[in-house]
Structure 1
Amino acid sequence: MTFETLKPEIKSIVSNADYTTDERLLKICELLEANVDYYNWVGFYFKNGDKNELKLGPYVGEPTDHTIIPFGKGICGQVAVSNENFVVPDVSAQDNYIACSITVKAEIVIPIFVNGENIGQIDIDSNTPDPFTEADERFLEFVCAEVASLL
């Protein structure tokens, strides 16, 4: 499936009031992981209340010990501070990287904004070196905007 064909699927999941917010987020993770070959771990992190840390939300992929990430630590923690997309073509070249699995080669993290505030992010790990393009960034920005409408 192409990103363009996935967009209506994302909209359909987001608008389905039969599911809780977490169920919808999980369905988005499942859809992305199943339909984009190089998306090997897909999950959401959200700001943990008033704390300067992120808390793991719904995800699909290998289990992770990183359920809480302090702001500034790792790729996700850096996005929580910078409020900017972060594409990492080669995680081994990053000094401030938290390894979740030895199979991960690349990562992309896109922030989610609600009323101008960075309240979380989508985090995708890939076992393929340097797979993410500008098309991934634009598509994931679309996903994050749709998710923001839920929150």
Structure 2
Amino acid sequence: MLQEAKHQEIQLKAIQIIDKNLSMREKQKAICTLLRSEIRHYDWVGFYMKDAEKDELVLGQFEGEPTGHKRIPFGKGICGEGAIQKRTINVSDVSAVDNYIACSIETKSELVVPIMDGDRFIGQIDVDSHTPSAFNIRDERLLEAICKRLAEYY
């Protein structure tokens, strides 16, 4: 796991990206690239945004292997559960989750953090790792800080 100083450095870089005059799509892509390149155990990093018409998540920008999960109904899998619960979900062993949706057979753990505007769910960042129990409180805090800052631009 990364040391606290490394997480703070990455958080600062992410905030600088978010505050740049870029489209939201460009911001998301740059954040995915930053996180995946800087944190070795982040094997897939992507954004799922709430569909304006129905209770589904729509795949946005991502870094990692392509996924067939372009749309995920609320309540289905870890991402769908995160959309309903509107809170960070850190799963150390995805094989123990009953309704888990496998993006890759290599995925062992997953971390989902919501992007919230007050009580309104906007979307989420989803990180998969090929390492069991890959994510700790530092990872949660890092992604929560990024999502909090992103929410200011919606």
Instruction: Give the alignment's TM-score, normalised by structure 2.
Output: 0.94
Q: Deviations over 1:97-141 (max 9, x none)?
A: 000111111000011101331111000000111011111111110
* Structure 2: gaps (5+ residues): none
| Distance in structure 1 (CA, Å) of the matches to 2:41 and 2:86 | 24
Letter of the structure 2 residue corresponding to residue 106 of structure 1: S
Which residue of structure 1 lines up, in the alignment, with residue 103 of structure 2? Answer: 100
Q: Deviations over 1:7-53 (max 9, x none)?
A: 22111101110x21101110000000000110000000011112010
Which residue of structure 1 lines up, in the alignment, with residue 84 of structure 2? Answer: 81
| Distance in structure 1 (CA, Å) of the matches to 2:76 and 2:140 | 21
SS of the counterpart of 2:57? strand
Structure 1 segment 54-133 matched on structure 2, within 5 A: 54-133=57-136
Of 124, 129, 138, the residue aligned with 1:135 is 138
Which residue of structure 2 lines up, in the alignment, with residue 28 of structure 1? Answer: 31
| Distance in structure 2 (CA, Å) of the matches to 1:30 and 1:141 | 17
* Cα RMSD (Å): 1.0
SS of the counterpart of 2:148? helix
Task: Report the number of matched residues.
Answer: 150
2:14 corresponds to 1:10: yes
* Structure 1: gaps (5+ residues): none
Instruction: Give the alignment's TM-score, normalised by structure 1.
Output: 0.96
